Structure 1
Amino acid sequence: MKNLLPAIFIFVILFTACSKGEAPHINEEQEVKVHYDTTAIDSFSTGAVSVDIARKIRMSSPQYLDSVKQVKKAMEEEKKLKVELEKENKLKEAEEKKKTDAEKKKKASETVSASETKTE
């Protein structure tokens, strides 16, 4: 009886340790999305086009070329407007400088004439 209890204990430990555990469940039905570089489903079928080639085709289309021209025109117009605004600002600054210079000269001449009248 003394030997039977440790033997049962060892047997239970070995039985649980060597028992087959459940394999982790991998859901094989799960969809895996793969990114292909072709537009057709089968890259060997007729009509399969590389993404790079499809991009070149789109870029050479008349709509794309027209949109590029419109963007260029808009950029040129913006540049012209900026140049015109800068010219106008420079002219305004020049006029303001002339006015301030004229006012300074006028004040200077008034102070000189006022000092001359005081001395007389």
Structure 2
Amino acid sequence: MKNLLSAVFIFGVLFTACSKKESPGFGAEQVMKVHYDTTAIDSFSNGAVSVDIARKIRMSSPQYLDSVKQAKKRLEEKKKLREEVEKENKKKPEEEKKKADAEKKQKASETSPAATPKAE
């Protein structure tokens, strides 16, 4: 009887240990995308350049420097245009005030009795 119980126990352990385990499915499989800081496949190979050094090289290229100069020129032109528009906007109210003052003076001079000649 003891042999029978131990045999059943051993078969039970083997049956559960050797049973086919099911995979968790598509949800458990995750693709890990590793981000390396080198542009070459192997960081020790010839021509391997770190991202920081590649950025410095690109920034020192003539095309990049030219584009930076053009961007600065555009910003300066925009600033100049804004300043001119602001100056014009400031001049308009001043001119309107001068016109209004001139019209008031003309009306005042027309309506005053000393300025108008009397016909006798």
The AA in structure 2 aligned to 1:48 is: A
Higher helix share: 1
RMSD between aligned alpha carbons? 3.1
Deviations 1:20-48 (A, max 9, x none): 46243578x98643111000000011110
Alignment partner, residue 108 of structure 2: 108
2:64 equivalent to 1:64: yes
Instruction: Please list every run of 5 or more consecutive structure 2 residues that lacks an aligned counterpart in the other structure.
Output: 1-7, 114-120
Distance 2:34 2:60 in 1: 29
Distance 1:75 1:25 in 2: 58
The 1:30–1:99 alpha-carbon spacing in structure 2 relative to 1, beyond 3 Å, is closer
Distance 1:75 1:24 in 2: 60
Matched residues, percent identical? 70
Post-superposition shift, 1:107?
2.9
Distance 1:75 1:112 in 2: 56
Distance 2:75 2:30 in 1: 50
Instruction: Please list every run of 5 or more consecutive structure 1 residues that lacks an aligned counterpart in the other structure.
Output: 1-10, 114-120
Distance 2:44 2:31 in 1: 23
Q: For 2:75, what is the secondary structure of its paired residue?
A: helix
Name the count of aligned residue pairs: 99
Post-superposition shift, 1:109?
3.6
User: Taking structure 2 as the reference length, what is the TM-score of the superposition?
Assistant: 0.67
User: Taking structure 1 as the reference length, what is the TM-score of the superposition?
Assistant: 0.67
